[in-house]
Amino acid sequence: MKLNRIYGFMLSALMLSACTAQTPVQDTAAETTAETDTTVDVLSLEAEKTEAPVISDTFSDESFNAEKRGTVILRYTEDDAAADKGALRIFNRNNSWDGAQYNADKFRGNELEAEGSFRSTNPNVRISIQYTVNDNTTYNTIATVNTKEASYSKGSGKYIVPKNAENIIVYVESDNLEDIYIDDFSVRVCGEYTYYPEAVATEFVDTSNYPSLKEEYKDYFRIGTATSPNLLKKEPYAELIKAQYNSMTMGNSFKPDSILDHNKSVRDIEKYMYSPAVKFDAVKTELDFARDNGLTVRGHTLVWYSQTPEWLFYKNYDIGGELADRETMLARMENYIKNVMEWTEENYPGLVRAWDVVNEAADDGGGMRKSLWYKTIGEDYIEQAFMFARKYAPEDTKLFYNDYNSYQTRKQNDIITFLRPVAEAGNIDGIGMQSHINVNINITQYMTALQKYYDELGLEINVTELDVCRGKGDNWQKEQGDYFKRFMSELIELRKKGLPITSVTLWGISDTDSWIASDYPLIFNDDLSRKPAFDGMIEAVNSQE
Ligand code: XIL
């Protein structure tokens, strides 16, 4: 391993490309990263690797490099709308991530630019990147391209791939499941190319001497983090989490797509028609960790339009057929909430302190999002969800509505409007402010919004998914640190004035395991060294009288 790493540096080739065209590489297949004898074949490695890699598909004939992702079929298609009359058609898509993909391991440690032309009846198509760092896989968007049905739209974006990334895959996907047509697609290196034959292992720093967020903030609110099972298995992460946090939220494993069991549900449709089968294997590692280490859990999330399999909304769970009717969907919703809450309470009594019952129901364009929950049940689906949640939740469990950009005036007004009847019925306890923000977001506006939720609905507040995307300048670390300090200071101020803000959860631990890693939005660097953002949080609380 080590040898290989040294050769990697020796063989680094500096190539100027500035994202411009180079000779297409025919074979983009995965390199062997297995633990084989690393001393062999160095010369041929050198000969092969001095050029910056290029992925390029023009789809002008049957031969292309794209590989299928998920259940899809990829087929060369003659297409008059395409520049060279040829395109790739991606069909038989069953999940948002189903599409076309390319191995991009050779781009490790470099900035890349991906570009493509697409058409689709889906409103947009994404160029995304997936990779694994420290056994944790993240998925990021490189570019979102708004698409039309009849003509091609071109889009591109840049992305810095971390040096410690493995299994790097660039792919094309779309939230909607219609076909996607690709005309041209390419991925190139921006600037100088350095070749890293394998992921550079992260050397974690000693974090045991850091001041503890949960201790420092104990008079104000719980401090939480989003987790994934793999990160908890890493000692440096586990130690840091135990020292710093007293609350956690599963980043993915409590979501419907992780809990719902399609195979079981369709195998015995009579039995599961109104009560979809559930499985809890994926969430146990994190629940065990929380229980064993004295953290409480925010359960995230029960009723959401995303990360919820589409089959749930169909008659007989068959997406080839019709949407299920209101009564069926109400029964499925009730039973899902019941089963998840009852299993959790039975196996981990008292551990889940709060549930995000409904997530992201407000539409960015105003009003309620026209999700499949909305379409099948109707406008009162939020009220129904909270009614069921109240019915099955243990007495001390708090019920939350959670959303992003919910400090923005119009969105806030919409949320207050649809939550009012829920609050009047006494079925909601809190507002979750996701808070995926950036250093230019007006903190005063944000704090005013918190006060308004309290004044209008009388609800408790949790900051549930805080991350603060960095600014553009060279001084971004300090700027972000100052932002964290001001943000936390003002939260404390409001708390002191009596606003019931009870927890602040960061959406991940280090920048590399963030879901928006390229924005460096968190408080630890990838070796777990502290960023000015962490220090800003500590200073905010230390400067209190
Ligand atoms: C994100 C996770 O962090 C990612 O790992 C996943 O790929 C997508 O979802 N709003 C939410 C969270 O409520 O559940 C989302 O989490 C981020 C946006």
Specify the range with the lowest mean pLDDT, choosing from 13-17, 270-274, 393-397, 509-513. 13-17
Ligand 1 atom index nearest CA of 228: 5
Question: How far apart are the C-alpha atoms of 161 and 166, rounded to whole Å?
Answer: 10
Give residue for tokens 């299993």.
Answer: 343
What pLDDT digit, counting tens, does each position of 113-165 carry? 999 999 999 999 999 999 999 888 889 999 999 999 999 999 999 999 999 99
Write down the mean pLDDT value for the chain. 91
Give residue for tokens 């719902």.
Answer: 260
* Ligand 1 center from residue 288 Cα (angstroms): 21
Nearest CA to ligand 1 atom 15: 251
Closest CA to 139 of 53, 256, 234, 251: 251
Q: Give the number of other Cβ atoms within 10 Å of residue 265's Cβ.
A: 22
**DSSP H/E element including 87:** strand 86-91
Ligand 1 atom index nearest CA of 138: 5
Closest CA to 405 of 370, 457, 445, 371: 445
Has residue 106 got a pLDDT over 50? yes
Question: How far apart are the C-alpha atoms of 8 and 536, rounded to whole Å?
Answer: 37
Ligand 1 atom index nearest CA of 226: 3
Q: What proportion of the chain, given as a percentage, has pLDDT over 90?
A: 86
Look up 35 and say whether it is catalytic: no
Helices of type H across 370-408: 372-377, 381-392
First to last CA, the chain: 52
Has residue 23 got a pLDDT over 90? no
Question: How far apart are the C-alpha atoms of 381 and 431, rounded to whole Å?
Answer: 17
Nearest CA to ligand 1 atom 12: 251
Count the residues in the chain.
545
Q: Is 83 exposed, middle or buried (0-12, 13-18, 19+ CB in 10 A)?
A: middle
- Which of 113, 198, 286, 360 is an active site residue? 360
- Which of 113, 216, 334, 465 is an active site residue? 465
What pLDDT digit, counting tens, does each position of 166-202 carry? 999 999 999 888 999 999 999 999 999 999 999 998 8
* Ligand 1 center from residue 139 Cα (angstroms): 10
Look up 360 and say whether it is catalytic: yes
Ligand 1 atom index nearest CA of 255: 14
What pLDDT digit, counting tens, does each position of 326-339 carry? 999 999 999 999 99
pTM (predicted TM-score): 0.83
* Ligand 1 center from residue 27 Cα (angstroms): 33
Residues with CB under 6 A from ligand 1: 139, 251-252, 359, 404, 434, 465, 515
Helices of type H across 133-201: none
Closest CA to 220 of 3, 445, 459, 544: 544
Here the tokens at position 168 are 């790097």
* pLDDT recorded at residue 5: 32
pLDDT band at 528 (very low <50, low <70, confident <90, very high): very high
